[in-house]
Amino acid sequence: MSTPSLPEVPEFAEPELAALRERYRAERDRRVRPDGAAQYRRAEGGFGYYAADPYAEEITREPLADRVDAIVLGGGFGGLCAAARLRQQGLERIRIIEKGGDFGGTWYWNRYPGIHCDIESYVYLPLLEEVGSVSRWKYSPGEEIRQHARAIGRTFDLYRDACFQTGVTELRWDDGEWVVRTDRADAMRATYVVVSHGTLDHPKLPGIPGIESFRGHTFHTSRWDYGYTGGGPDGGLTGLADKRVAIIGTGATAIQAVPHLARDAQQLFVFQRTPSSVDVRDNRPTDPEWAASLEPGWHARRRENFQAVVTGQPVTEDLVDDAWTASAAVLGKIISTDARAGWDPEEWERAEELLDFATMNRLRARVEQVVDDPATAELLKPWYRYGCKRPTFSDEYLPAFNRDNVTLVDTADSGGVERFTDDAVVVGGREYAVDCVIFATGFEVGKSDVMTGRLPVHGRDGIRLLDVWRDRGVRTLHGFSSNGFPNLFHLGPLQNASSVNYVHVLDEQAIHVAEVVAEARRRGVKAVEPTAEAELEWVETITASSPDRARFDAECTPGYYNNEGSARPRITFPAGPAAFQRLLREWRSGDGINDVLGDEG
């Protein structure tokens, strides 16, 4: 692979660089809290109603004690891709178990006004050619995405055996197969289990004193209450015409919801800890002539092209050509890549920092150009490195602050919202009287039920997965499977390589799992399980070579990327997603696959 040329690096005078670095540190320090991630609470117990399903009526059914070929945990795109790819490999009975009332995962739960994907839909949506569709917009609205998830379920006959509104409570290996127990008293059996719970299904709430006694209306954006607000994802929120509304949080969700709230609420207060970077969106309808001209294989080519561009690989053409690909040079702290392997590390670090400063200066200048009030514009400027927070894109968010009925409330110096009274939100000792509080505080990230122990997993001889990992450290082969836990596969970011287009990553993982299962079936192997030696070798490989981002994360403004300022190591495949996917293909076609296809023993 050739090394791309070093991009043209902007020039900065040393005093300017020193001032920017100091400003970044100061802005970070304003927002660091001693309680870190503990500032949030789970939506459970007395707060469990925030996680209740508002979209589906409760179903009743008899407990199941049947046997299927594979059980997939999670009905989002990861689970759908896993089930679809297993179906393509000939598995007949595939059961998806999903907590929600239908397929969709994040897109089932998130139905707030203005919701769209932030990755181009032609590369984000999986299995487009298999389903036979092209999205209607470059960046699809949430409802189109949810309907695509349902179309995958119909195309691959996944509704037939699915169990919705069901939570898995235990996985236990027993006599050559998995027993899967649920909160509906099911005791199903399956040859294979694929865990694709994801981490974007359980809302988190800020632990603000007085939240219990606030007498107004409250809800979380992932359970949007249209019964209160009126309207729909694209329609007018008519119920807010006489309401004073507060939204807490200014991440990717609020970027999309705020313009709708600003348009329809009598008064909107936006409570901000840290401003997001907001770049141009430029959404537009799909050109029907272009869609009709697409040739077979277009989808894989396009998403691989996007992946190459954002990881800095040389390409002859940028097919997506949007704000993500234009920012590729400063995505190195978000996505691992081998594109700069030929450069001197110190030279690249300096070049990346300078490019980053230039990018963020451009985004701060955009705020000044759009927002009329200088004081408000100053509060909306993001003072941190580009890779510290998930970038956002909108053409409506910043203009919303030019409306007379919208007030931005900065909470950085107060450590966030201080407390609630019966009818107000308090920041800096000042009360903001409101009728409704909307929590745009996101989901628990990186906390799957398996990793937290909420879903106990017992493998061969009853050994518990988390006990093994606590004693020896997390050990997998390629992030998918562990010794002692046959026929159990994990999808997600664990010990592999991720990217900004996470659904592409999940689909490649699903293809890998399905092909390993298919090879096992061809050979008559009953237990797919890595040897302890292969597992340890992989862990040593990624641990020794994983990029050291601890310093970068520690200097970032607090957020979920750096565990709210308590930076922890990111163990990932250093060469990036494209190289990792090539490694898996070579491993499957070579002798490596023998490391997981030994006899059950």
Burial class for 331, CB neighbours closer than 10 Å (0-12, 13-18, 19+):
buried
Indicate the pLDDT class of residue 342, thresholds 50, 70 and 90: confident
- Say how far residue 387 (Cα) sits from the centre of its chain: 15
Q: What is the pLDDT of residue 344?
A: 85
CATH class, domain 1-31+204-282+325-442, is: alpha beta
Q: How many CB atoms are closer than 10 A to CB 560?
A: 18
Indicate the pLDDT class of residue 4, thresholds 50, 70 and 90: low
Q: What is the pLDDT of residue 549?
A: 80
User: What would the mean pLDDT of 452-459 be, rounded to a whole number?
Assistant: 92
C-alpha 141/C-alpha 118 separation (Å) is 10
341 or 169: which carries more pLDDT confidence? 169
* The token pair that represents 203 in the structure block: 């809302």
Q: How many CB atoms are closer than 10 A to CB 436?
A: 21
Whether 456 has a pLDDT exceeding 80, the answer reads yes
Burial class for 573, CB neighbours closer than 10 Å (0-12, 13-18, 19+):
buried
Q: What is the pLDDT of residue 600?
A: 42
Give the C-alpha distances (Å, rounded to integers) separating 93 from 71, 190, 485, 541, 572: 9, 9, 21, 37, 34
Whether 328 has a pLDDT exceeding 80, the answer reads yes
> pLDDT by residue (tens digit) across 502-527?
999 999 999 999 999 999 999 999 99
> pLDDT by residue (tens digit) across 253-296?
999 999 999 999 999 999 999 999 999 999 999 999 999 999 99
Average pLDDT of every residue of the chain: 93
* Architecture field, domain 67-202+445-595: 3-Layer(bba) Sandwich (3.50)
> pLDDT by residue (tens digit) across 227-250?
999 998 777 999 999 999 999 999
Least Cα distance to 487 among 365, 597, 367 occurs for 597
Instruction: Choose the weakest-confidence range: 299-303, 338-342, 389-393, 410-414.
Output: 338-342
* The token pair that represents 466 in the structure block: 């988390």
CA end-to-end span of the chain? 42
Q: What is the pLDDT of residue 323?
A: 96
Q: What is the pLDDT of residue 1?
A: 47
Q: What is the pLDDT of residue 293?
A: 97
What residue spans in the chain does CATH classification 3.50.50.60 cover? 1-31+204-282+325-442, 67-202+445-595
Indicate the pLDDT class of residue 564, thresholds 50, 70 and 90: confident
Indicate the pLDDT class of residue 601, thresholds 50, 70 and 90: very low
User: What would the mean pLDDT of 384-401 be, rounded to a whole number?
Assistant: 96
6 or 340: which carries more pLDDT confidence? 340
* Amino acid, res. 478: H
Whether 198 has a pLDDT exceeding 70, the answer reads no
Q: What is the pTM of this model?
A: 0.95
573 or 120: which carries more pLDDT confidence? 120
C-alpha 278/C-alpha 371 separation (Å) is 12
Q: In sequence order, what are the residues at sequence separation of 6 or more whose Cβ sits closer than 8 angstroms to the Cβ of residue 99?
A: 165, 166, 167, 201
205 or 235: which carries more pLDDT confidence? 205
Whether 7 has a pLDDT exceeding 80, the answer reads no
Percent of the chain with pLDDT over 90: 79
